[in-house]
Amino acid sequence: PSAASGGIPEPTPLYIKTSLSQPVTLRQPRRILVIMDLNGTLLYRPNKRNPFNFIQRPHARQFLDYCVDTFHVAIWSSARPENVDKMVSQLLSPEQRSKCVVIWGRDRFGLSPADYSSRVQCYKRLSTIWNDPQVAASHPAAAHGQRWDQTNTVLVDDSAEKGRSEPYNILQLPEFEGLANEPADVLPQVHDYLNTLCYQANISSYIRRHPFRIDANYRLP
């Protein structure tokens, strides 16, 4: 992206310092903030001009059902808002949509008009979502001054580059391209990893030491 769109971000020194702390396991799980990508993560759009035509990743609906019921879910896609709306409508019921903290599209990346209309790399700066009043208010202890931050947030995305500003808060999964020979049980493994993150006092320190990895031999119980 151009300088007008914020350029290429880098992690702050404070972010790196916080991620270097030793992981601590909590006695009880907590509801973390899960920021969910769409295209390449939960579905594949063969033709981006026709957002009604897409292929769901295996287990996508069950996975998203579980996430919405268990975590605080925000959806953030680099697709245009009207296309995000159509994709989400195919994946979630109106009731489930209402449970999402926010549903964001391309208009929430701070892109210049020229970059908005071009194929540029988009960066999901988590500070953008943490500083949003609606998102901040969704924290269970917001009334007591607690906030979403690198200790309690995970970005689920197929692009590590999009998470460049907070590299140890991304759960990177293989890009889904709608092919029949792709691994079928990716999202169940993401499900299990998210359940592990619920027990972490500092998600960034855990992911730094134990990043998500696909187990080729994984089979659903």
143 lies in a domain?
yes
216 lies in a domain?
no
- What share of the chain has pLDDT > 90, as a percent? 73
Give the Cα separation of 171 and 203 in Å (integer).
Answer: 11
The count of structural domains within the chain is 1
CATH number for the domain spanning 193: value is: 3.40.50.1000
218 lies in a domain?
no
65 lies in a domain?
yes
- Given a cut of 70, whether residue 108 has pLDDT beyond it is yes
Please tell me the pTM assigned to this model: 0.94
- Given a cut of 60, whether residue 51 has pLDDT beyond it is no
Range in 6-10, 162-166, 208-212 the model is least confident about: 6-10
220 lies in a domain?
no
The Cα-based distances of 165 to 16, 98, 200 in angstroms read 10, 29, 21
125 lies in a domain?
yes
- Domain hosting 187: range is 3-209
Digit-coded pLDDT (tens) for 136-180: 999 999 999 999 999 999 999 999 999 999 999 999 999 999 888
72 lies in a domain?
yes
- Given a cut of 90, whether residue 43 has pLDDT beyond it is yes
pLDDT score for 125: 94
SS3 sequence of the chain: CCHHHCCCCCCCHHHHHHHCCCCCECCCCCCCEEEECCECCCEECCCCCCCCCCEECCCHHHHHHHHHHHCEEEEECCCCHHHHHHHHHHHCCHHHHHHCCCEECHHHCCCCHHHHCCCCCCCCCHHHHHCCHHHHHCCCCHHHCCCCCCCCEEEEECCCHHHCCCCCCEEECCCCCCCCCCCCCHHHHHHHHHHHHCCECCHHHHHHHCCCCCCCCCCCC
Which position has the higher pLDDT, 191 or 106?
191
